[in-house]
């Protein structure tokens, strides 16, 4: 996939550079190492691990990219290829009289460079010139890349197909009984196709994959998301189908964020990467398992690698880079060189310990070695060579004639499916209300969450609710006992008692919110709450209006009090409450609240909640309460300085302030907190606003009635009033 994309990009590039006549389309890449020979073998390695600058965005002509970060391990692979070719050239029993040459390209681990290298290998350097391209009628040969795998049987591998590795990894995971795993992969062919096979095999093995996420090493933001997914997931086993480069960045982030405690399952690309295991990353990597490519010993290789010296090939830019990086010294005398220390020339690779010199565990290296030998043996057969006598055929051999050898696996996937000896527990998704148990081998009922009477939060709320109820009843008793005293009589006792009654209901209605939601409790909850609160606010509103009217009544020539006597007060309260009753009836008949099992929020829990049915109904009920309380607040605010009995308007203003504050803070909390906390928040708001009303409106009066009875007289009341009138 990547290859094709890159080729398309090259197409776009040639269009933007279009001009009349034929032009040089770009400079060809030169091999980093080459040697003339009768038959040339091509090699593509990422001798550098990074490209400087940005990856192409394919919107402008690509700027040339620098290659950075000498990769010692890849250089060892390239050197192994050279070693194998030299060895074969030295031998008389393989390809006698034929010299093999090589062209080794550096891909810098970049897709663009890889494609350019592949093209350069297939087309000779001259063909990149447009004049020859233009004069040719034959299509450029690189088009073959599109169908490389189908058309050309000369695409072999010395490493087992990832198809088998993926399936083996699935069995390995199964073997340890890990049936719940997470997966992360490199976003390239290696990771994507490897993971696709793994997922398929894992499904057959009864392994459930919680998430499968990918990133490319050039995408740090994606990597952060991947890390986040892993951290938030519940799987403790992570299958990492990553190339060594992605693994490096992945590990770096895990180390940085101190994310440990995961069992890593790795691919051959990194599982033996000893350089990854630093003391800090060991906490993450320790205990990782996976399959490694078979190790081997290649005699003479170590000596060959160590023999290399920059002085033997001073023109080679890569070798210079390698040398300077390895010895941290500068070969050039210019000031802008990376290292200040000049190289002495007496450096020797034998003193160094790095991935280039370390051949104690060679695996992939052996595959490079084997592939050169496989090719050589194949050529040997094709050319009908016999030891010491030379080859019978001439060297005009086409690449496709190089046939596979027994030791090499074809890249073609076999259609054979592998059957396994074992009790496969199929991966059955649990029903919605179920969730897998700890061992992930059975479905168990999800835990159900709702605010119950048994839990601490429920008990506390019930206590507060009952406390509020008792307190209200107590206030009512006090008022009843002193119903003939001026303070009770003066402040329209009828409304006071009605208010106390509705407050009692308010406290009690919070109880309907606790307990397992049922059809009835859901319908009762919001409607009971809506109606009692409106009753409550209407009473307060009535009181406020009375204060306003009473003041006007004292003014000469006004008889407004006639217009708002007790019958009108009753009617107002009744009318306001009826509107809410009407809203509730509409809501209940059109789309009533119903008990609902919310499984969206948690994977392993079911939230039992009351779905409001019609959101419009719910917000209409709340909105109406809001409207009334706002009205009440505004009127009380206007009346707060008017002379009335015992500063009632002032206390009402204050209580409405509390009321509005509580419900305004309720809205965001209600919308954002899930499950039983939503309910708790709602109950809390109900209790808080009820207590607010009770304390602000009734406590000051009870104080006077019980503790300052001398103030509870007609005289002091009037005095108080006239004093205020004078003041204002
Ligand atoms: C090949 O032969 C040459 C000349 O004898 C020798 O210098 C070189 O080390 C040999 N190379 C290998 C890989 O054996
Ligand atoms: C990392 O986490 C472990 C336990 O989770 C803790 O013991 C350790 O101190 C942490 N290390 C750092 C560097 O934060
Ligand atoms: C694999 O099998 C499928 C269906 O049986 C077939 O279409 C496909 O061509 C086969 N592939 C190979 C590579 O044999």
User: Nearest to residue 167, comparing CAs of 137, 197, 127?
Assistant: 197
CATH code, domain with 537: 1.20.1070.10
Is 168 part of a structural domain of the chain?
yes
Q: Indicate if 489 and 365 belong to the same structural domain.
A: no
**Residue 339 to residue 332: CA distance in whole angstroms:** 10
Atom index in ligand 3 nearest the CA of residue 413 equals 13
Ligand 3 centroid vs 415 CA: distance in angstroms?
Answer: 6
Question: CB-side exposure of 145: number of CA atoms within 13 Å?
Answer: 22
Is 341 part of a structural domain of the chain?
no
- State the pLDDT confidence band at 228, using cuts at 50, 70 and 90: very high
Each residue of 103-123: pLDDT tens digit? 999 988 888 788 888 777 776
Query: Taking all residues of the chain, what is their mean pLDDT, rounded to a whole number?
Result: 79
Ligand 2, residues at Cβ distance < 6 Å: 258, 260
CATH code, domain with 274: 3.40.50.2300
| 181-203: burial string, b at 16+ Cβ within 10 Å, e else | bbbbbbbbebbbbbbbbbbebbe
Q: What is the number of residues in the chain?
A: 728
Is 435 part of a structural domain of the chain?
no
Which ligand neighbours the alpha carbon of 283 most closely?
2
In the chain, the number of structural domains is 3
Is the CB of residue 619 less than 8 Å from the CB of residue 687?
no
- pLDDT (average), residues 187-203: 93
Q: Indicate if 687 and 609 belong to the same structural domain.
A: yes
Q: Which is higher by pLDDT, 688 or 724?
A: 688
Each residue of 365-404: pLDDT tens digit? 888 998 899 888 888 888 888 877 778 777 666 665 554 4
Ligand 3 centroid vs 697 CA: distance in angstroms?
Answer: 84
Is 77 part of a structural domain of the chain?
yes
Q: Indicate if 285 and 301 belong to the same structural domain.
A: no
- State the pLDDT confidence band at 710, using cuts at 50, 70 and 90: confident
Nearest CA to ligand 2 atom 13: 258
Each residue of 438-450: pLDDT tens digit? 766 677 888 888 8
Is 559 part of a structural domain of the chain?
yes
Alpha helices in 336-415 (DSSP H): 364-382
Nearest CA to ligand 3 atom 3: 415
Is 335 part of a structural domain of the chain?
no
- State the pLDDT confidence band at 340, using cuts at 50, 70 and 90: confident
Is 267 part of a structural domain of the chain?
yes
Q: Indicate if 490 and 401 belong to the same structural domain.
A: no
- Please say if the pLDDT value at position 409 is more than 80: no
Q: Indicate if 62 and 145 belong to the same structural domain.
A: yes
- pLDDT (average), residues 124-137: 44
Q: Indicate if 274 and 300 belong to the same structural domain.
A: no
Q: Indicate if 119 and 27 belong to the same structural domain.
A: yes
Which ligand neighbours the alpha carbon of 82 most closely?
1
What's residue 42's pLDDT?
Answer: 87
Ligand 2 centroid vs 272 CA: distance in angstroms?
Answer: 25
Rounded to 10 degrees, what is the CA torsion of 666, 670, 672, 674? 140
* Whole-model pTM over 0.85: no
Ligand 3 centroid vs 592 CA: distance in angstroms?
Answer: 57
Q: Indicate if 505 and 522 belong to the same structural domain.
A: yes
Ligand 2 centroid vs 188 CA: distance in angstroms?
Answer: 33
Atom index in ligand 2 nearest the CA of residue 261 equals 5
Q: Are strands 156-157 and 48-51 parallel, antiparallel or unpaired?
A: unpaired
Nearest CA to ligand 1 atom 6: 90
**Residue 719 to residue 684: CA distance in whole angstroms:** 41
Which ligand neighbours the alpha carbon of 258 most closely?
2
Is the CB of residue 643 less than 8 Å from the CB of residue 725?
yes
- pLDDT (average), residues 54-67: 69
What's residue 25's pLDDT?
Answer: 61
Rounded to 10 degrees, what is the CA torsion of 522, 523, 524, 528? 120
**Residue 52 to residue 310: CA distance in whole angstroms:** 24
Atom index in ligand 3 nearest the CA of residue 414 equals 13
**Residue 689 to residue 22: CA distance in whole angstroms:** 84
**Residue 79 to residue 604: CA distance in whole angstroms:** 54
Ligand 2 centroid vs 524 CA: distance in angstroms?
Answer: 51
Ligand 1, residues at Cβ distance < 6 Å: 83, 86-87, 90, 300, 304
Each residue of 81-98: pLDDT tens digit? 999 999 999 998 888 888
CA-atom Rg of the chain in angstroms = 42
Give the DSSP per-residue string, 295-312: PB--TTHHHHHHH--GGG
- State the pLDDT confidence band at 715, using cuts at 50, 70 and 90: low
Q: Indicate if 57 and 138 belong to the same structural domain.
A: yes
Is 708 part of a structural domain of the chain?
yes
> Cα dihedral sign for 155, 158, 161, 164?
positive
Give the DSSP per-residue string, 618-635: HHHHHHHHHHHHHHHHHH
Atom index in ligand 2 nearest the CA of residue 258 equals 1
Q: Indicate if 653 and 703 belong to the same structural domain.
A: yes
**Residue 495 to residue 493: CA distance in whole angstroms:** 5
User: Nearest to residue 238, comparing CAs of 277, 279, 198?
Assistant: 198
- Please say if the pLDDT value at position 53 is more than 70: no
- State the pLDDT confidence band at 17, using cuts at 50, 70 and 90: very low
Ligand 3, residues at Cβ distance < 6 Å: 412, 415
Atom index in ligand 1 nearest the CA of residue 90 equals 1
Q: Indicate if 647 and 574 belong to the same structural domain.
A: yes
Look up the domain containing 196 and give its range: 162-290
Ligand 2 centroid vs 255 CA: distance in angstroms?
Answer: 10
Q: At what angle do helices 676-693 and 648-672 cross, to 10 degrees?
A: 180
Q: Which of 415, 416, 417 to mutate to test the pocket of ligand 3 (most atoms within 8 A of CB)?
A: 415
Q: Which two three-digit tokens encode residue 244? A: 């060594």
Span between the terminal Cα atoms of the chain, in Å = 86
Which ligand neighbours the alpha carbon of 410 most closely?
3
Q: Indicate if 547 and 656 belong to the same structural domain.
A: yes
Is the CB of residue 383 less than 8 Å from the CB of residue 95?
yes
Each residue of 455-477: pLDDT tens digit? 999 999 999 999 999 999 999 99
Strand partners, 68: 50
Q: 11 CB contacts (<8 Å, ≥6 apart)?
A: none
């Amino acid at each position: 996939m990547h290859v094709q994309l890159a080729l398309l990009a090259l197409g776009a590039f040639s269009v933007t550079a279009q001009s009349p006549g034929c032009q040089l389309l770009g400079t060809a890449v030169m091999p980093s190492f080459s040697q003339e020979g009768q038959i040339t073998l091509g090699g593509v390695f990422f001798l550098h691990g990074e490209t400087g600058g940005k990856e192409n965005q394919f919107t402008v002509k690509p700027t040339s990219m620098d290659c950075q970060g000498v990769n010692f391990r890849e250089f060892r692979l390239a050197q192994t290829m050279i070693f194998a070719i030299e060895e074969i050239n030295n031998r008389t029993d393989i390809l006698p009289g034929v010299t093999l040459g090589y062209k080794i390209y550096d891909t810098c681990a970049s897709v663009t460079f890889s494609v350019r290298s592949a093209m350069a290998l297939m087309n000779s350097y001259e063909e990149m010139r447009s004049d020859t391209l233009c004069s040719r009628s034959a299509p450029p040969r690189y088009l073959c890349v599109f169908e490389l795998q189908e058309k050309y049987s000369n695409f072999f591998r010395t490493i087992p197909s990832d198809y088998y590795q993926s399936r083996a990894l699935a069995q390995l995971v199964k073997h340890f009984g890990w049936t719940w795993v997470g997966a992360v992969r490199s976003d390239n062919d290696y990771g994507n196709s490897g993971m696709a096979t793994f997922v398929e095999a894992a499904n057959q093995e009864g392994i459930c994959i919680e998430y499968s996420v990918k990133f490319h090493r050039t995408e740090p933001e994606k990597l952060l998301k991947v890390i986040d997914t892993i951290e938030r997931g519940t799987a403790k086993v992570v299958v990492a189908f990553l190339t060594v480069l992605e693994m490096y960045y992945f590990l770096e982030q895990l180390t940085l964020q101190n994310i440990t405690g995961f069992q890593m399952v790795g691919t051959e690309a990194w599982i033996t990467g000893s350089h990854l295991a630093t003391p800090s990353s060991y906490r993450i990597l320790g205990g990782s398992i996976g399959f490694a490519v078979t190790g081997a010993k290649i005699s003479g290789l170590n000596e060959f690698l160590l023999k290399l010296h920059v002085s033997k090939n001073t023109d080679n830019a890569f070798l210079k880079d390698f040398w300077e990086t390895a010895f941290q010294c500068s070969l050039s005398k210019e000031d802008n060189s990376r290292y200040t220390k000049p190289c002495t020339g007496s450096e020797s690779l034998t003193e160094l310990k790095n991935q280039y010199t370390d051949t104690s565990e060679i695996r992939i290296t052996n595959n490079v070695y084997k592939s050169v030998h496989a090719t050589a043996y194949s050529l040997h057969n094709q050319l009908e060579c016999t030891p010491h006598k030379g080859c019978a055929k001439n060297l005009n051999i086409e690449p496709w004639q190089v046939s596979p050898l027994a030791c090499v696996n074809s890249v073609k996937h076999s259609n054979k499916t592998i059957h396994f000896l074992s009790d496969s527990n199929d991966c059955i998704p649990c029903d919605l209300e179920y969730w897998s148990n700890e061992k992930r081998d059975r479905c168990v009922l999800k835990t159900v969450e709702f605010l119950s009477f048994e839990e601490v939060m429920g008990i506390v709320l019930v206590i507060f609710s009952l406390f509020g109820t008792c307190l209200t009843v107590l206030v009512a008793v006090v008022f009843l006992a002193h119903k003939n005293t001026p303070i009770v009589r003066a402040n329209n006792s009828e409304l006071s008692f009605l208010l106390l009654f509705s407050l009692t209901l308010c406290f009690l209605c919070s109880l309907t919110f606790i307990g397992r939601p049922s059809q009835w409790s859901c319908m009762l909850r919001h409607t009971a709450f809506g109606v009692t609160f409106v009753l409550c606010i209407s009473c307060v509103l009535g009181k406020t209006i009375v204060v306003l009217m009473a003041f006007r009544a004292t003014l000469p020539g006004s008889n407004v009090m006639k217009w708002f006597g007790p019958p009108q007060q009753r009617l107002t309260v009744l009318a306001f409450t009826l509107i809410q009753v009407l809203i509730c009836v509409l809501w209940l008949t059109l789309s009533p609240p119903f008990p609902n099992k919310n499984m969206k929020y948690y994977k392993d829990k079911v939230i039992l909640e009351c779905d409001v049915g019609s959101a419009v109904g719910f917000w209409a009920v709340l909105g109406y309460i809001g409207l009334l309380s706002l009205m009440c607040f505004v009127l009380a605010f206007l009346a707060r300085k008017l002379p009335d009995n015992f500063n009632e308007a002032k206390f009402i203003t204050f209580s409405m302030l509390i009321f509005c504050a509580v419900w305004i803070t309720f809205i965001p909390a209600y919308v954002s907190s899930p499950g039983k906390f939503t309910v708790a928040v709602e109950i809390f708001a109900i209790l808080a606003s009820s207590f607010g009303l009770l304390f602000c409106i009734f406590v000051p009066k009870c104080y006077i009635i019980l503790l300052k009875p001398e103030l509870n007289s007609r005289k002091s009341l009037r005095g108080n009033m006239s004093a205020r009138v004078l003041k204002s």
